[in-house]
Structure 1
Amino acid sequence: MSDLQNDVSPPRTLGPSPAVRHIDKSSRRALFASWLGWTFDGFETYALVLVGPTAVMAVGTEAQLADLPTYVSGLLAATLAGWALGGILAGFAADRLGRRRTLILSILWYALFTGLTALAPDYWWLLTLRFITGMGLGAEWGSATALIGELWPDRSRGRAAAVLQSGFGVGAVIAALAWYLLEPVGDNAWRYLFLIGTLPALIVLYVRRAVRDPEMWTSVRDRRRKAKAAQEAGNTVAAADRELLRSPFTAVFSQPHLRRRGLRLLVLTVVSVIGLYAVSAWIPAYTAQLAKDTGETGTRWGANAGLVFNGASVPGYLLLGYLADRWGRKPTMLLYYSVSAAVVPVFFCAVHTPQAALAVAAVAGFFILGQFAWMPIYMPELFPTSGRATAISTVFNSARIADALVTLGTGMLISLLGGITAAATIVGVVMYAIAIATVWFVGPETKGQPLPR
């Protein structure tokens, strides 16, 4: 059977089901708790971008300060590498231990190590703590995404997942505002910003009380337990139930059509990540340079551009969720990638004033960051419950390795391609062109379809 044949889903009757018309309190609470957790992920990630240079200057040696950009990039790369490892491991945990339990553990993990980051006495402690914190940051996404996907009705699942993803943008804006207030405090302001990152520990109290594991996952867990007991007793176990006893990673990716699907999703995710970092890393610097050229304060304009870019992502996420439920997943993905490909050369080649840069940065943030909402919407709809968190976490978090490499290679790319303008334009347009081509065959259209059991 061809991959296309495997992707064909049975038709559904038209009209909303009772589950669509009524979303229970438990599902709403799960979304709120997951959104809060992902908001602090966004806060923590952007906080490092904001205070990385300040932190290195505070704890670094003279030799490290002489090569400040390299050591700041090292902190970002360590966080992303930890994110990749923690996310992949947590996907397995979410499939075996449960969505709720893994969500709780991930939040406690990154809250604890974010707090310890504030106490780092030197650069190497700071680097180590960033790696460990990154593990917790990466662990949260897969469990939360699987949880929301399995609790929310088919016809509104896209909007719920987009709300979840919007938390990252909200967190980035909160981090920027918090740093604006804390920076004048003095040399330890960066430490206070990281201390704020301990607050997610309080979310755990709410999750423990208000959130339950989805019935879709608990039914698979119960089948696995029965199959294991039957196998240990020497009884015959059905082939479908024997599959549940295998590692979730093996059970999913040993199936050719799911393996191909995972690889296509990985390509799409990696080019999204490279496109984002190739553009977002240079928007503040380019805007600052435009401001300097017109006699204004470059640092202020650069910071404003970064804030506008991240802030515009929130409505971008939400609109993608609405359109994904209304038009379909793949048409909406094509729209966002197409606009992203168009806005990159406009920003870096056609904008000549800092005021215009802010306006175009808003459009860029809306679509370039907003496009990431397809991931919690579409990925869970392509894999079975027994390995869903493992599959989506492996795909999503493996792309963090690309994040780390791009972070380390940013300076080299600028030199190789002849400056910020050429590097951002070439890399951004090429990545989004690959994304547009990949969307066509990445998987089936899943709008309004039930999740695979």
Structure 2
Amino acid sequence: MNDVVTESYSPSVPSHRWYSRLTRKHWLTLNGAFLGWIFDGYEALALIMVLPALMHSVLTPGQMSSLPLYAGLVIGITLLGWGIGGLVGGVLADYVGRKPMMMWSVLLYALLTGCTAFSGNLIYLCVLRFLTGLAMGSEWSTGIALIAETWPREARAKGAGFLQSGFGWGTLIAALIWYALSVYDPFGADNWRVMFVVGALPALFVLYIRRGVDESEQWQQAVRNKQWSATGTSDASNRPTKRPFTLKQVFSERESVRRIVLTTILSIVTIVGWWAVSSWLPARTAELAALEHVVNASHWISSVSIVYTIGAILAYMLSGFIIDGVGRRWYLFLGFTGSLATTVLAYGWISSVEGMLAIAAINGFFTLGCTFAWLAIYPAELFNASVRSTATSFVFNSARLVAWIFPILSGSMIKSFGGVSHAALVFGSVYVIGMILPWFLPETKDIGLPEDLDSLNAHATRS
């Protein structure tokens, strides 16, 4: 045991290739979490893409006059459920295990997404979107915890980057399916219902999780050994024998509070930056198309969305390699710097749909790719296995609880700032915060997880 801990915590870079210690079981675990994230990404973008058609089906003629408000409400209430569900599910995963929470999350959100296809009015739709968000929330933190705790140190960041790419692949699949439905128009005004029926397919995926994914041994060991320290930095001799409530434990240690506050602010920067900047790219593309009197503006909007998503997927696939090369803090600094620069380019310099298409992949690489990939890699390295799911879900989902109001207010914000471009440039300045805060966090490149340090401290205390 001591040999394993020493090797995993050693700051030296392994001499073997990053994938040399990966086994079939490691890849099965990644596949299990990856497929879940594909459907997370699919579900998230499907709602945004079908929203105009969906709202025309569920709103009454009187409600149509306030369509932007109701459309924002549907997205916002989904994000609210997603945030609450993520917090609750993250805590439960630290008590009942990663695998059970993943199974229930996938099953419930698949069934509820399928039920969305039968929405006939706004109230029914909003209730289903909130419940779907609740079910979907815990999928994120359980997948991250599984990869962090099962993959070898030299491959951990790469595996987390591959996992994050599942979300990107899911959004790309949603964009392509909706594009095909728009072109061939098989069900007319009810095409949007097909998108949610497809979203019910993950229910079958639960069978794969039961067979292919094992529970995290590292989490089980941390609980057995009563490793309650949130960051592995507290005195092992002073630790309670009874397990504290995980959320309370995260906020009971000075170092843990510092880490979770800083990473949560960075998460808010990421989420707010995306919702207040990148989600307006289609609207900006539509504006440019109208100014240029472009024929078939919807084609350009779809093309920009697809190219943007491809840029993000590329960033996800490369993120583990980049972050292991330059370190966590430099990665965050460069990612947020790139996001700020591409925001200025997209909204302050580009003046044609052709230019927007050209910049879309670069914008997606940074604002959706780099600035989200760190959330799958870095927070898991800052907290112990006994509270890892709780901490990472808090970092990500508390940001959702802040961001859920943006879709509802987006219409009025755009109007207040004098258009999409001005609003995006103002809110894009939030990325400056993301360039500063990483330097106040610990560098975890080539370092073992906190439970490894915790084991060393406990061993030294016993000696």
- Which of 211, 214, 218 is 1:212 aligned to? 214
- Which of 278, 290, 293 is 2:291 aligned to? 293
Contact 2:175 2:305 in 1 (8 A): no
Using the size of structure 1 for normalisation, the TM-score is: 0.91
Q: Does the C-alpha gap of structure 1 residues 18 and 352 become closer, same or farther in structure 2, counting only changes over 3 Å?
A: closer
Contact 2:34 2:163 in 1 (8 A): yes
Q: Does the alignment pair 1:407 with 2:407?
A: yes
Alignment of 1:54-93 (within 5 A): 54-93=53-92
| AA matched with 2:386 | S
- Which of 280, 283, 307 is 1:282 aligned to? 280
Distance in 2, matches of 1:214 and 1:241, equals: 23
The SS at the match of 2:269 is helix
- For 2:246, the equivalent position in structure 1 comes to 248
Contact 2:157 2:377 in 1 (8 A): yes
1:173-194: CA deviation from partner (whole Å, max 9, x where unpaired): 1111111223412122111110
Q: Which has the higher contact order (CA 8 A, sep 6+)?
A: 2
Q: Does the C-alpha gap of structure 1 residues 153 and 47 become closer, same or farther in structure 2, counting only changes over 3 Å?
A: same
- For 1:386, the equivalent position in structure 2 comes to 386
Give the aligned length. 431
Contact 1:286 1:302 in 2 (8 A): no
Distance in 2, matches of 1:17 and 1:320, equals: 20
1:279-319: CA deviation from partner (whole Å, max 9, x where unpaired): 11221111122222222132221222122212210001122
Distance in 2, matches of 1:310 and 1:409, equals: 24
| AA matched with 2:417 | L
- Structure 2 residues not aligned, in runs of 5+: 1-7, 228-235, 452-463
- How far is 1:20 from its partner? 6.0
Greater alpha carbon shift after TM alignment, 144-153 vs 276-285:
276-285
Identity of aligned residues (%): 37
Cα RMSD after superposing both structures: 1.9
| AA matched with 1:48 | L
Q: Does the C-alpha gap of structure 1 residues 285 and 388 become closer, same or farther in structure 2, counting only changes over 3 Å?
A: same
- How far is 1:11 from its partner? 5.4
| AA matched with 2:447 | Q
1:325-354: CA deviation from partner (whole Å, max 9, x where unpaired): 122111111111111111111111211221
The SS at the match of 1:22 is coil
- For 1:232, the equivalent position in structure 2 comes to none
Distance in 2, matches of 1:418 and 1:120, equals: 35
Alignment of 1:299-318 (within 5 A): 299-318=298-317
| AA matched with 1:437 | I
| AA matched with 1:330 | R
Contact 1:89 1:139 in 2 (8 A): yes
Alignment of 1:341-380 (within 5 A): 341-371=340-370, 372-380=372-380
The SS at the match of 1:292 is helix
- For 1:146, the equivalent position in structure 2 comes to 145
Distance in 1, matches of 2:381 and 2:325, equals: 16
| AA matched with 2:201 | L
- Structure 1 residues not aligned, in runs of 5+: 1-8, 226-236
- For 1:36, the equivalent position in structure 2 comes to 35
- For 2:416, the equivalent position in structure 1 comes to 416
Q: Does the C-alpha gap of structure 1 residues 278 and 109 become closer, same or farther in structure 2, counting only changes over 3 Å?
A: same
- For 1:200, the equivalent position in structure 2 comes to 202
- How far is 1:18 from its partner? 9.6
| AA matched with 2:106 | I
Distance in 2, matches of 1:131 and 1:427, equals: 26
Distance in 1, matches of 2:56 and 2:74, equals: 13
1:372-429: CA deviation from partner (whole Å, max 9, x where unpaired): 000110000001111010011011011112221111121222122221111111211x
- Which of 269, 278, 281 is 2:267 aligned to? 269
